[in-house]
Structure 1
Amino acid sequence: MTANEGSVRVDSWIWSVRLTKTRSQAATAVRGGHVKVNGERVKAAHALRVGDEVRLRHGGRERIVIVKRLIRKRVGAPVAVECYADHSPPPPPPVEVPVVARRERGAGRPTKRERRELDRLRGGR
């Protein structure tokens, strides 16, 4: 399960430590140039070693991790966290979406009065 000596494919390691949900997502990120090892774009088969810095842009944010341990197979989340040191910036705060007024299903078409009230709520007139 562990490979303290040698190397592991970068796409396999990213998937193994749960930075991506699937291995194909990891391989696609590498192919798309969203993964850098020690500041350089790499291919999916790049040999990853202990001490390498991996930068991954995935899910709208950048993850910066330092490899502490090499693993080849996917492991549980508590074990996966021990395999890297996370130096990522904090995630951006969630964007609050305004609540949209909705009519109940089957309520029919709004009357003229209801439509005017809806327009006022939405910021019109």
Structure 2
Amino acid sequence: MANETEKLRIDKYLWAIRIFKTRSLATEACKAGKVKLNGQNVKPSYVVKIGERYTIQKGIERKEILVTGLLERRMDAKTAVQFYEDHTPVEETYGFKSVFHAPILKRDRGTGRPTKRDRREIDDLKNDWWEEGK
């Protein structure tokens, strides 16, 4: 565990608290503009400070974290959670999870490709389901 006066890079911190699986993925996310501090992109070499709030875009998932402590080495998940607070809005968390519970539409084998009319009906079904979930 790092002392508060030590310098810790953002890519190393995000890897240590288990936001990213590897440090190189954390570095790439920073370079691609997926990690932001107060709406501004952060370079991988940026020094993390306690009390800062970061927004991290990872695929379709968006997280907001508040730094509560500095962790230099990767630890188990239970320990890593103690070094940040997750401030992700609840509606975004459920929105991300609801994508996985979308209705699965199946067609009988051998019926061929859907016609234009079939495709419109499928789209209407998906849109109705999506509006109900919001």
SS at match of 2:79: helix
Name the TM-score, length of structure 1 as normaliser. Answer: 0.76
Once the two structures are aligned, what percentage of the paired residues are identical? 28
Choose 75-84 or 2-11, whichever is displaced more: 2-11
Choose 8-17 or 84-93, whichever is displaced more: 84-93
Q: Distance in 1 between matches of 2:67 and 2:74?
A: 15
Kept in 2, the 8 Å contact 1:37–1:53? The answer is yes
SS at match of 1:82: helix
Q: Distance in 2 between matches of 1:72 and 1:48?
A: 11
Let me know the Cα RMSD of the aligned residues: 2.4
Trace 1:1-125 onto structure 2 (pairs within 5 A): 1-89=1-89, 90-92=93-95, 93=98, 94=100, 95-99=102-106, 101=108, 115=110, 118-119=111-112
- Greater strand share, 1 or 2? 1
Change beyond 3 A, Cα 1:101–1:23: farther
Unaligned 5+ segments in structure 2 are: 120-134
RCO greater where, 1 or 2, for CA within 8 Å and sep 6 or more? Answer: 1
Kept in 2, the 8 Å contact 1:3–1:72? The answer is no
- Greater helix share, 1 or 2? 2
Unaligned 5+ segments in structure 1 are: 103-114
Name the TM-score, length of structure 2 as normaliser. Answer: 0.71
Change beyond 3 A, Cα 1:60–1:5: same
1:37 Cα shift?
Answer: 1.9
Kept in 2, the 8 Å contact 1:17–1:83? The answer is yes
Q: Distance in 2 between matches of 1:30 and 1:64?
A: 15
Choose 21-30 or 87-96, whichever is displaced more: 87-96
Q: Looking at CA atoms only, which structure, 1 or 2, has the larger radius of gyration?
A: 1
AA matched with 1:26: A
Change beyond 3 A, Cα 1:83–1:100: farther
Q: Partner of 1:111 in structure 2? A: none
Runs (4+) off by over 6 Å: none
1:5 Cα shift?
Answer: 2.5
